[in-house]
Structure 1
């Protein structure tokens, strides 16, 4: 059995019928977090039904029609990802995920889904990977965005669960959108930087995705402000939570910041990027614009490149 490291002492491994007892204990913990978004999890209420869920996936994997994998954190099953549909003849598959609360906020599902999508495109020659999600399942929609997917459309009133009909959103990524350019290290660092800058955007009523910052950083990462010579050092929680509050309580609206130029240097498993950036928005109802510079350090981990520290200063 293979085990793919995901970082943070987490692994991605096949989830098989022999894991039924462990799977049931996990689903019992996860149920409040995933219901009603993952109905089949609700159907795993005892050992027999949990075994049946995993056996169905094992049978469909034997037909090359679906696959299921677990995410283990510190040796405990905390979630998983799966190909809910896999049609090699058509070159189209669908990826899904679930996670219990104790595994959230670490980027585990996004990393695991990237591994599945990369395998589907590079090893199986798939042309399109889909992501079907109920409207209102914001956590799942955020993962689709982090994976670089595009929302293709909405199937209105498509599914019913406990007497409530829900719309289903379809997101997708195509193979030519996923393939990395020759300089994959630089492309990965570019992508991490885009996620960081985009995490604060709340324009046009959009919801800021500040939790994505935890995905692009190593857990021990530090973010340092030296604006006006006032040195302030944050760990990830201390940096994220005040900005989440400010971006959602109406104080800071229509806000975005973006990189306008960069210089990136890569040496083996470490890298540095110097970025000039601009920002704008309404602060307490008053429009403002600003600019500044960020310097970011990166390290290569078993799960790919991650930010290790970031420092910034704003223009006077």
Structure 2
């Protein structure tokens, strides 16, 4: 069995029918957050049905029509990614993902999906990778954006779930749009994936949509202890150490000041120079501030260092475009 690393404590590997007990325990933990978006979770309610779910993907694998992989974090199954549809004749496939709360905010799904897309394009010669998602599934849409996909359109009331019709968004990326590292750039590709993960953890830390409780303490895990974060949105820059940055934002995101808030990267350019790296990002954000809906955007510049504990952020500065409030 192959195992691919997803950072220091996570792994991607095949998910097979014999793992049904572990899969069922995971789905039970994830059911509340996963079930609205992945209907087969509804049908994995006991050992027999969980086994049947995994067997369907084993059958698709045998037919070269689909595949499923689990994500393990510190030895515990916390989510996964899959080819829900794989058609080598047409050169088109579809990928999907799911994750329980314990795996959120670490960039695991994005990194795992990159591996699937790399394999589809580079090893199998596919032409197009699709991402189908319910219009209200903001977390999944954010992943599509981070993967550099383009939204092709919306299929109105395309699917029915529990008696309700839902719009479906279709996102895609084409083989000619996907970066293809040279043979000598394998290590650079791995560094890029790790920097993507760190940025995913940072951006995901602020998300409190759906009643979730953010824990900004994870920012300390992606920064060096001496890290600095700089707001350059007024006449004078405001420079924070990690504690000064985290504490007031943790309060705003948990005391009702900011609700249904999320922030996501929409574009990035990363340059790696040996043991240092730089990333320029464009991002968007939205939520309710004191009950008023707002949307905003901005730019970040982030510096990274390779340390004995792995890659970490050393500093970040941002400049916001003024937010718009919708009454």
Tell me if TM exceeds 0.5.
Answer: yes
Distance 1:239 1:67, change over 3 A: farther
Deviation at 1:134, TM superposition (A): 0.6
Aligned to 1:297: 304
**CA–CA distance in 2 between the matches of 1:136 and 1:97?**
15
Q: 1:7–1:301: 8 Å Cα contact kept in structure 2?
A: no
**Residues 20 and 298 of structure 1: CA distance in aligned 2, closer, same or farther (over 3 Å):** same
* CA shift in 2, pair 1:275/1:14, >3 Å: closer
Query: Using the alignment, how far apart are the partners of 1:258 and 1:114 within structure 2?
Result: 16
1:128 CA displacement: 0.5
- Give 1:241 shift: 4.4
For 2:77 and 2:175, locate their aligned partners in 1 and report how far apart those are by CA, in whole Å: 31
Aligned-residue CA RMSD in angstroms? 4.4
Partner of 1:308: 313
- Structure 1 segment 1-316 matched on structure 2, within 5 A: 1-180=1-180, 185=188, 188=192, 192=196, 219-222=221-224, 223-225=227-229, 231-234=239-242, 241=250, 249=258, 266-267=273-274, 270-273=275-278, 294=301, 296-299=303-306, 307-312=312-317
Specify every segment of 5 or more residues in structure 2 that has no aligned partner in the other structure, as ranges: 205-213, 283-288, 291-297, 320-327
Per-residue deviation at 1:52?
0.4
2:295 corresponds in structure 1 to: none
Deviations 1:151-172 (A, max 9, x none): 0011111111110010110000
Tell me, what secondary structure is at the counterpart of 1:219?
Answer: helix
Distance 1:36 1:272, change over 3 A: closer
**Are 1:218 and 1:308, in contact at CA under 8 Å, matched by a contact in 2?**
no
TM-score (norm 2): 0.70
The offset of 1:129, in angstroms, is 0.3
- Cα offset for 1:199? 5.8
TM-score by length of 1: 0.73
Instruction: Show CA shifts across 1:56-95 (max 9, x none).
Output: 1001100000000001111111111100000011111000
Structure 1 residues 158 and 310: alpha-carbon distance in aligned structure 2, compared to 1, 3 A threshold: same
Mark the CA change 1:30 to 1:237 in structure 2 (over 3 Å): closer, same or farther: farther
Number of equivalences: 279
1:272 Cα deviation (Å)?
Answer: 3.7
Partner of 1:206 in structure 2? Answer: none
Gapped regions of structure 1 (runs ≥ 5): 201-210, 278-282, 285-290
